[in-house]
Structure 1
Amino acid sequence: MEQIIGIGLLILLLAFFTLFTYYAPYGDKAMGALAAAAIATFLVEALQSFVIGDIFSLGFFQEAGTEAGLLSGVIVAFLVALTMGVNPLNSAIIAVSCGGLGLIPSFFAAYIISFGVKYLEKKIPNGLDFIIVVIAVVPLTRLIGAGLTPLVDASLLKIGAIIEVATASSPIIMGLLLGGIITVVGTSPLSSMALTALLGLTGIPMAVGSLAAFGSAFINSTLFHKLKIGNAKSVLSVAIEPLSKADVIAANPLPIYLTNFIGGGLSGVIIAFSGLVNNAPGTATPTAGLLVLFGYNPAMQVLLYAGIVAVVSGLVGLAGAYFFRNFPVYNSDFGKVVDEVEEADNFKKPADI
């Protein structure tokens, strides 16, 4: 029952934030800011404190990482306001209003309040606007963030807790579904980093997310190379960060999403039984997802399962490329639809570029 509830709530959450990303004003920019804030705080905390600090017993790095993790609310508020067009000074004032608040309450508080601040900036002379922001907006932002905290704890974080429990009781089902969903989300504007940060995932589920994202680098680079979706730079870009080629992926949804779901699901099952854990939420990204695991697990164990996931993901990518070898694909580097792999080679001749 927990598996059904967890996946059902996760699907509802994905539906809501997909609609938010595509249709809310500045939705895609705000979600990008959320993902960036998770990396700038949780990833820094994990690498500095748990990898460098703990492994080498360096108190300076441990302290630096811990302090970074405590600033998640401040950083996300600043980035959200800034990407929505609030001037840097007022963005910073909004950010400091969220000191001590969590990532998600601060995200929503900054998103809501930024509309009002942008209006003030248009109506009030420069130099006077930040005074009003300090007097009125600071307490209002904090009030919104504090008011949202219980709601977030009872909903988003509760979904994450349910998934963690369900993963422990049914690792095959949850590994398959969670790994598949996270890799697909990782190729969409919603971002797997933002999703895992929203849910506050830790432990085995976050390990599933981070290594499934790592495996997606091999799936996507193989698909891009074999199906001639883009040039060599595109292959490298999608391997490092799928979101860098989100427009191309959106133009070729069936081969990329389906192959990623299968490969991510298989990786998820493997990791669910591996014993690996990841206690840094929001690190479901190819490079960082691998590196952060060294802070919580024995290095040889990480390398072993990373190798297994890489091989499995590469094979799934090859299988997907073969299955969709005659499927029409859109190549953004040339702005053309390629009906067959052989035709794609003609587009890359210097005379045509």
Structure 2
Amino acid sequence: MEIVMGIAALLAALFLFSLFSFKAPNGSAAMSGLADAAIATFLVEAIHKYVMGNLFGVNYLAEFGNMVGGMGGIAAATLVMLRMGVQPVFAIVTGLAMANLGILEGFIVGYLFSFLAPLFKKYLPEGVDVILGVLILAPLARLVGIFISPALEVLMGTLANMITEATMLSPLAMGFLLGGLIKMVCTSPLSSMALTAMLGLTGLPMGIAAIACVGGSFTNGYIFHRLKLGKSSNTISVMLEPLTQAHIVTRNPVPIFMSNFIGGAFAGTIAAYFGIVNDAPGSAAPIPGLLANIAFNPPHTLLLATVLAAFAGLLGGMIGHKLYKNLLAERVPLQQFADG
């Protein structure tokens, strides 16, 4: 029952996440801004605070990483608004109003105020629009952020706790299911960084998600190479950052997502077996996941888990390739592109 509830919580989050990304006005752009904010804050915090600071004893970087890690709300509001084409001064002042608030509060306020900010430029004279805009937007954004914060903390905390409790009670089963699902999200036009940042996942679930994305990179590399999806540059790019190849992924979802679930599930199971933990929410991507894990795990354990996850990802790609070629190739032909 705990596993069912944990997976149900993740699927509910994925449904809402997908619905917003594909149906909300500029939803995809807003999610890209949220993913950027996760990298700019949580990844920097993980590397500088925990690795360079706590591990290597560089106090300045430890303090710097801790400071940046607390600016998720500022980064989210600013980057979401910039991604949505809002005038930079309005994006900055709205972002600054999110000081000491979470990344999800910043995301929601940034998205909502992206529709409000252009009205100042539209209806007020030049010069006056900026002055009145910054004076009105800043306190109003702060008020909205403070108002929605308690409910968001309860909602996201409940979802994250359900996933965490299920993972701790049944780590291998959740490693398989969570790893497979997160790797599919990592490769889709959605953002696994944004999803894990919104949920605030930490500990073993975040470790599973990070390792699944790392191991699943080899799944993507194998499946792109064997199915000749693009050139060698496309194969390298999809291994480093799957979102760069969204145009190929969305045209060939069946072999890619099927292989990704298998490879991510295998890699996630390995992460659960070795007890890989990660306290940097929002680092569920190949490169951020690889780097952030260094801060929270013994080096020899992490190295062994990562190497085995890479082989697991390759195995997942091989199995997915065989299944597609033997069972689905005739019914679901590949879609290639004129540029490779």
Query: TM-score normalised to the size of structure 1?
Result: 0.92
Alpha carbons 1:117, 1:133 under 8 Å: kept: yes
Alpha carbons 2:262, 2:320 under 8 Å: kept: no
Which residue number in structure 1 is paired with residue 13 of structure 2?
13
Which residue number in structure 1 is paired with residue 290 of structure 2?
290
Deviations 1:39-92 (A, max 9, x none): 110000000111111221110110111111011110111101111111111111
Runs of 4+ deviating beyond 4 Å:
none
In structure 2, what residue type is equivalent to 1:32?
A: S
Q: How does 1:78-227 map to 2 (within 5 A)?
A: 78-227=78-227
Deviations 1:252-307 (A, max 9, x none): 01101111111111211221121221000000010110111111111111100000
5+ residue gaps in structure 2?
A: none
Which residue number in structure 1 is paired with residue 278 of structure 2?
278
Distance in structure 1 (CA, Å) of the matches to 2:128 and 2:100: 27
In structure 2, what residue type is equivalent to 1:15?
A: F
Distance in structure 2 (CA, Å) of the matches to 1:179 and 1:288: 16
Q: Percent of counterpart pairs with the same letter? A: 41
Which residue number in structure 2 is paired with residue 344 of structure 1?
none
5+ residue gaps in structure 1?
A: 336-347, 349-353
Offset at residue 173 of structure 1 (A): 2.2
Distance in structure 1 (CA, Å) of the matches to 2:322 and 2:172: 27
Alpha carbons 1:227, 1:325 under 8 Å: kept: no
The question of 1:331 aligning with 2:336 is answered: yes
Query: TM-score normalised to the size of structure 2?
Result: 0.96
Offset at residue 243 of structure 1 (A): 0.6
Distance in structure 2 (CA, Å) of the matches to 1:159 and 1:235: 35
Offset at residue 172 of structure 1 (A): 2.3
C-alpha RMSD of the superposition: 1.3
Distance in structure 2 (CA, Å) of the matches to 1:323 and 1:99: 50
Which residue number in structure 2 is paired with residue 341 of structure 1?
none
Distance in structure 1 (CA, Å) of the matches to 2:311 and 2:125: 60
**More displaced stretch, 322-331 vs 193-202:** 322-331
Alpha carbons 1:293, 1:302 under 8 Å: kept: yes
Alpha carbons 2:90, 2:137 under 8 Å: kept: no
Deviations 1:85-107 (A, max 9, x none): 11111111111111111000111
**More displaced stretch, 319-328 vs 24-33:** 319-328
Which residue number in structure 1 is paired with residue 3 of structure 2?
3
SS at match of 2:109: helix
Distance in structure 2 (CA, Å) of the matches to 1:322 and 1:231: 21
Distance in structure 2 (CA, Å) of the matches to 1:295 and 1:199: 20
SS at match of 1:277: coil
SS at match of 2:146: helix
Distance in structure 2 (CA, Å) of the matches to 1:78 and 1:206: 25
Which residue number in structure 2 is paired with residue 253 of structure 1?
253
In structure 1, what residue type is equivalent to 2:264?
A: G
